[in-house]
């Protein structure tokens, strides 16, 4: 309750300082990495907040591609924005305000039960939430309906497995025309790649961040990496990220790839390319429950903001149904909004929400250890070596674990 008492005291002092005088304009600074139409949406949300709160000005600061550099400089100079977009909590959380007490205080008014717990969990460090979700994506498999029809291959079912995906992928092999059923990454983003480990019953690192041995190189981990290597070796998939192969996105948009695993950020480009596509959830490893990585943006508050209560009020507005509906470039964080917009039944959106429901059991490795960036480099080398050799997953993962142990102390 200490944080709440500080907020109350700050509000009381502010009220006293304004007594008997004309109300001065209150300004809060909001830093965002968005640009173009996404920035325009943020600015519209800020205008609506100002209209609902006379005497308040939201100063939107578009840091764009220089986001991290500008944010670090602002914190270093002791003048951070009051509110900011956030995802890299291990890097910034010591400079951010924990929000659990505020969320608990306003849970009913905010209808927090309408926001999936898995989204809020993406902001947690040592159990404390440092952000309020703003937008998200889960991962899915896009597939080319026309290619499936031409090859006489049945489209993916709602509860398909990796074995089924492999069987379908093999039927699209056409080396002469460079057509493939699926693509596997030699240099994947580990943030997203961990979803395959989770779905096979393991993870990169222990939940408490204490060990990688028995996790990163577990039998389940070896099975995942070996499966992708076998897909490449058996020509069920093309390996991307090495040599001169095009990206998975380019291959799919060029009708050279029947299935493409990606996320919401690929959807508009696929539509612009004119592909007649469908969307399926990630496959399962047999009867094990699937789990997707969650890419989520969130709103955080600087620990040293001079107007914490107003900053929190803006964050709450940002997650209100009104603001969520404006954010057309993101999937809505509120279940009620998703239902109202028919996204939970539209077959091109439904898989994103279906897998979100079962993706609240795990959190990403980078949230569990301050040296994860160094450990991750070893894992990346193991994945790449396995995909180049199309085998030897156990050897390469064991080597990654051995090289990583010194970073755990």
Instruction: Give yes or no on whether 2-136+296-357 and 139-293+370-407 have one common fold.
Output: yes
Mean pLDDT by 10 residues, the chain (409 residues): 44 43 77 91 96 96 92 94 94 95 95 93 92 95 98 96 98 93 95 96 95 97 98 94 82 96 94 97 97 94 95 97 92 96 96 93 89 95 96 97 93
pLDDT for res 243? 72
pLDDT at 392: 96
CA dist., res. 241 & res. 189, Å (int):
11
What 8-state DSSP symbol labels residue 20?
T
Residue 382, token pair as written in the block: 């193991």
Nearest Cα residue to 252 out of 225, 232, 278: 278
CATH code, residues 139-293+370-407: 3.40.190.10
2-136+296-357: CATH topology: D-Maltodextrin-Binding Protein; domain 2 (3.40.190)
pLDDT for 328 equals 87
Domain residues of the chain, as ranges?
2-136+296-357, 139-293+370-407
Buried b (16+ CB within 10 A) or exposed e, 100-114: ebbbeeeeeebeeeb
Strand 259-263, strand 139-144: pairing: antiparallel
For the entire predicted model, the pTM comes to 0.88
- Distance, in Å, from the CA atom of 215 to the CA atom of 401, rounded to the nearest integer, reads 9
Which of 141, 191, 114, 185 minimizes the C-alpha distance to 362?
191
Pair 238, 216: CB distance under 8 Å: no
Torsion angle of alpha carbons 80, 81, 82, 88, nearest 10°? -80
Query: Residue 244's pLDDT is what?
Result: 65
Are 370 and 199 in contact by the 8 Å Cβ rule? The answer is: no
Contact 74, 57 (CB under 8 A): no
pLDDT tens for residues 123-162?
999 899 999 999 999 999 999 999 999 999 999 999 999 9
Q: How far separated are the first and last CA of the chain, in Å rounded? A: 33
Region of residue 243 (phi > 0: left; psi between -120 and 50: alpha; otherwise: beta): left
Query: What is the spatial distance between Cα 402 and Cα 393, in angstroms, rounded to a whole number?
Result: 14
């Amino acid at each position: 309750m200490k944080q709440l008492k500080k907020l109350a005291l700050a509000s009381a002092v502010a009220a006293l300082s304004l007594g008997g005088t004309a109300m001065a304009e209150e300004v809060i600074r909001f830093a965002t990495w968005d640009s173009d139409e996404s920035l325009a949406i943020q600015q519209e949300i800020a205008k609506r907040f100002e209209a609902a709160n006379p005497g308040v000005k939201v100063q939107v600061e578009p840091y764009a591609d220089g986001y991290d550099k500008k944010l670090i400089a602002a914190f270093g100079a002791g003048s951070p924005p009051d509110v900011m977009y956030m995802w890299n909590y291990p890097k910034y959380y010591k400079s951010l305000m924990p929000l659990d007490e505020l969320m608990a205080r306003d849970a009913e008014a905010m209808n927090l039960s309408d926001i999936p717990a898995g989204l809020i969990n993406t902001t947690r460090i040592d159990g404390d939430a440092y952000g309020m979700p703003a937008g998200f994506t889960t991962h899915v498999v896009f597939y080319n309906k026309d290619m499936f029809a031409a090859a006489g291959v049945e489209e993916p079912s709602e509860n398909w497995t990796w074995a089924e995906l492999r069987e379908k992928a093999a039927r699209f092999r056409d080396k002469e025309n460079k057509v493939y059923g699926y693509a596997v990454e030699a240099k994947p983003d580990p943030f997203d790649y961990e979803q395959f480990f989770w779905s096979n019953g393991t993870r990169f690192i222990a939940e408490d961040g204490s060990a990688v041995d028995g996790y990163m190189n577990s039998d389940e981990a070896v099975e995942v990496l070996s499966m992708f290597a076998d897909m490449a070796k058996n020509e069920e998939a093309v390996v991307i990220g090495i040599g001169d192969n095009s990206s998975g996105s380019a291959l799919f948009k060029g009708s050279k790839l029947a299935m493409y695993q990606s996320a919401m950020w690929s959807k508009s480009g696929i539509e612009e390319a004119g592909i007649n596509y469908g969307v399926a959830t990630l496959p399962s490893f047999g009867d094990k429950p699937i789990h997707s990585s969650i890419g989520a943006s969130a709103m955080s508050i600087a620990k040293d903001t001079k107007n914490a209560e107003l900053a929190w009020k803006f964050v709450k507005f940002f997650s209100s149904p009104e603001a969520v509906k404006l954010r057309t470039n993101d999937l809505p964080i509120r279940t009620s909004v998703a239902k109202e917009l028919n996204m939970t039944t539209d077959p091109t959106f439904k898989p994103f929400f279906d897998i979100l429901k079962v993706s609240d059991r795990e959190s990403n490795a980078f949230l569990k250890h301050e040296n994860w960036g160094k450990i991750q480099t070893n894992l990346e080398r193991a994945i790449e070596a396995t995909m180049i050799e199309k085998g030897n997953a156990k050897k390469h993962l064991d080597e990654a674990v051995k090289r990583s142990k010194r970073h755990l102390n």
